[in-house]
Amino acid sequence: MHQHEPRRTAPTTRVLMIGLATTIALGLAGCGPAIDGGSASGSARLQAPSEESPSGEITIWDRSGDLFEVFDAAIADFNEVYPDITVNHEAVDIDAKLQNTLITGTDVPDGVFLDDAKVAGLADSLWDVSDVLAPYVDDIAEQKVDVNSIDGGIYGVPFDSNPGLLYYNATALEAAGVDATQIETYDDLLEAARAYQTAVPGSQPIHLEQSAFLGQLQLEMYASQLGTSIADGEGELRLDSPEYEQILTFLDTVQRDGLGTRAEYLNPTDIAQLESGNQVFYPWAIWFSFATQQLLPETSGDWRAMPLPAWGDGGAHSGAMGGASFVLPRDGENSELAWLFYEFLMFDEAGYTAVWGPNDVYPAGLNTSIPSYHPAADPAAPLFEPVDALGGQDLWAVATEAGAEIPRAVPTPSWWAGAVDYLGNDVQRMLDGDLTPREVIDSASADIQSNLIDRK
């Protein structure tokens, strides 16, 4: 899954793993010493090393794949700053291994790459990094700080921002006389889709996600735009709301009016419809840029990206879809040294340039996400180059503009993945024509409350 040739599998696999795997239960035992108190049950605040030249060994877990290689290559840059810290970098199936490792307390790594959706469920086993993040926290995207915050503590070092964008086939739309750049709201998107369908009979212009998991993840992207999410800051369900009814009504309209291509993200059907010009609008996270570069050779260069439509005048033009952070388990032997590694990667110019700038893995730079640290995400100082598959478009400028519009958030509840069995599946039943938007809200709310929240 990690190679230096064109990456047809690695980024896609990374994308599909965002938030995947079994829900990690709350309350894993944390055995670290309490330092400066703490906010979550039994939590402790990590402190930076006090030595002038820290030394020791750290074990860092990352998933195998393209990002593993990017982080691996950055170790040499880190060692130029900290020559006496040895980094043992291991490719691990984190979803399969981390939970048991934290429970047993045996061979616990010092740092781990983890989906934001799983941080809250592991907080009792992680260091509160509020103190070490203090010099940087005001310059980190608020949404990323929010999703890592539980009961006043911060339990993850934010990695990326994954702003939602509207990808569109500019060549096909122009030929049909549709100007995508005039789309400001989701009502405008519906009008543009109808106009395209009139010009290209039989087309189904807007992507409708058929995977229950990814459909729920996309639903949360839309909700993020509206400043809400499936649960509030206390983990209480808030699906029954005007915001979710508005989003589900939009999706239902796309389906009922025949304006959508129903397919799983980048499966053969999806790709065929994209290449044929039947599907020309793709509201998705920034990481769809991978598809334009690797999976769509016939329409390469035809695609462009723009911020998402707003849900109403003056509304946000982006929402978060997925994302990851770095966590420091309290049972790690040298977590304070692992903090120095992550501090370098995320907040030192040499570090974040090594991650997002041109490198052996991504010769034009890592263009499937942007940094969550504002000084690194400077619109005027791009870390990756314009994307040829997007017609040479400056995706950095588009993505950083969109990322700045993502509203604040709350931690993702530990039961989020389990909710796919209810909300994710019910959305698909709606797209099958079996449920109304109101019935999705009522059914999923009742099932999530009784089967997930009340049984915690």
Distances (CA, A) of 64 to 17, 78, 191, 226, 237: 12, 20, 43, 34, 34
The pLDDT value given to residue 43: 54
Three-state DSSP state, 63: coil
pLDDT block averages, 10 residues each, the chain of length 456: 32 36 30 39 81 95 95 97 98 94 96 92 94 98 94 95 97 98 98 98 98 97 97 94 98 98 98 98 97 96 98 96 96 97 98 96 95 97 98 98 95 90 98 98 98 89
Give rounded-to-5 percent helix, strand, coil for the chain. 40, 15, 45
Q: Measure the CA–CA gap between 77 and 354, rounded to whole angstroms.
A: 8
Per-residue model confidence (pLDDT) at position 344:
98
Which position has the token pair 């619109």?
Answer: 379
Beta bridge partners of 165: 284, 307
pLDDT for 7 equals 36
Q: Is the separation of the CB atoms in 47 and 54 below 8 Å?
A: no
- 320 forms bridges with which residues in the sheet? 163
* Phi-psi map region of 338: left, alpha, beta (phi>0 left; psi -120 to 50 alpha): alpha
The stretches of 61-179 forming alpha helices (DSSP H) are 66-81, 94-104, 119-122, 130-133, 142-147, 170-175
Specify the pTM. Answer: 0.88
d(C-alpha 112, C-alpha 116), whole Å: 12
CA distances for 102 relative to 92, 124, 125, 324, 373, angstroms: 14, 10, 7, 19, 29
Q: Is 140 exposed, middle or buried (0-12, 13-18, 19+ CB in 10 A)?
A: buried
Q: How many residues does the chain have?
A: 456
Give the Cα separation of 180 and 28 in Å (integer). Answer: 49
Q: How far is CA 406 from CA 217, 366, 444, in A?
A: 15, 21, 26
CB 8 within 8 A of CB 295: yes
Sign of CA dihedral 309, 313, 317, 320: negative
CA distance 374 to 379: 9
What are the backbone angles phi and psi of residue 182, rounded to the nearest 5°? -90, 0
Sheet holding 303-307, edge to edge: 260-263, 206-209, 281-285, 164-169, 303-307
Q: Judge contact between 116 and 324, C-beta under 8 A.
A: yes
Task: Give the pLDDT of residue 456.
Answer: 67
E strand or H helix at 325: strand 324-327
Residue 209 DSSP SS3: strand
Q: Which domains does the chain have, with CATH numbers?
A: 10-162+323-385 (3.40.190.10), 164-320+408-453 (3.40.190.10)
CA 363 to chain CA centroid, nearest Å:
23
